[in-house]
Amino acid sequence: MKVAIVTGSSKGIGKACALRLARDGYTVVVNYSSSDEAALQTLEQIKAEGGDGMVYKANVAVLAEVKQMVRDVFKAYGRIDVLVNNAGIVRDEYLLMMNPDTLDKCFDLNVKGYFYCAQQVAVKMYKQKSGVIINMSSVSSKFALAGQAVYSATKGAVNSFTQTLAKELGGYGIRVNAVAPGFVATEMIEAIPEETRKGYLEKVPLKRFASADEVANVVSALASDQFAYVTGQVIVLDGGLSL
């Protein structure tokens, strides 16, 4: 049995990753922070397809909650093989209108949350002498979008921390990579006004948004033995947007 924790997996990209890893044979921990119903639906879908797992409510921006989650998962299954750091927040604000609360919340969830989860899971992986950590970055870390200074900064931090962790943990059999999607057809994109969406689409050479499943496919590949010699990389999945 192999075990994967996917943070923020009650919907969107996280849900697609949880479902894909379950199809790959992992027992999946569906982490979430607010929507009980959506998390349970994800788990029900995993079980309907013959997979297994559990839901676990924890705010990854709170170290005590992360420690308890990792402790409980390890107690239940005896191992943790994959961590997908996916839980995050997007708050677009221009610099001159930036609210300090935006800065705090984005860094707490998008940076501190990733550090907390990686740290606690790495302790277990170190004892196993194996494991994979996959951090969800964004094309915004490499491609400037006006109004995304804070979000871009958090995802740039994710890229740098991915590379450093890969060096720190490689000797213990732990690989660390990141996936940097561009525009993905999720509820977040659907909430954007149609004219804005059209403008985004025009900038993508492939002339379409990615599906959440396409992001999950890359996560699945990075978690697999086929990519056993890949670590410290940021895989950009943006349809050519950043070219």
Q: Provide the domain limits for residue 95.
A: 2-237
C-beta atoms surrounding 229 within 10 Å: 7
* Annotated active-site residue in 26, 94, 151, 229: 151
In angstroms, the CA 36 to CA 43 distance is 11
At 81, give phi and psi (nearest 5°).
-100, -35
pLDDT at residue 127 tops 90: yes
pLDDT at residue 7 tops 90: yes
The answer to whether residue 214 sits within a structural domain is yes
Residue 98, pLDDT score? 84
The answer to whether residue 210 sits within a structural domain is yes
User: Is 151 an active-site residue?
Assistant: yes
pLDDT at residue 90 tops 90: no
Looking up residue 110, the CATH number of its domain turns out to be 3.40.50.720
With tokens 């094309």, the residue in question is: 139
With tokens 């992986």, the residue in question is: 125
Residue 39, pLDDT score? 98
Residue 100, pLDDT score? 87
Of how many residues is the chain composed? 243
Residue 173, pLDDT score? 98
Q: Mean of the per-residue pLDDT values for the chain?
A: 94
pLDDT at residue 189 tops 90: no
Helix (H, G, I), strand (E, B) or coil at 85: strand
pLDDT at residue 142 tops 90: no
The answer to whether residue 242 sits within a structural domain is no
Residue 194, pLDDT score? 82
In angstroms, the CA 141 to CA 87 distance is 16
The answer to whether residue 243 sits within a structural domain is no
The answer to whether residue 12 sits within a structural domain is yes
> Into how many domains does the chain fold?
1
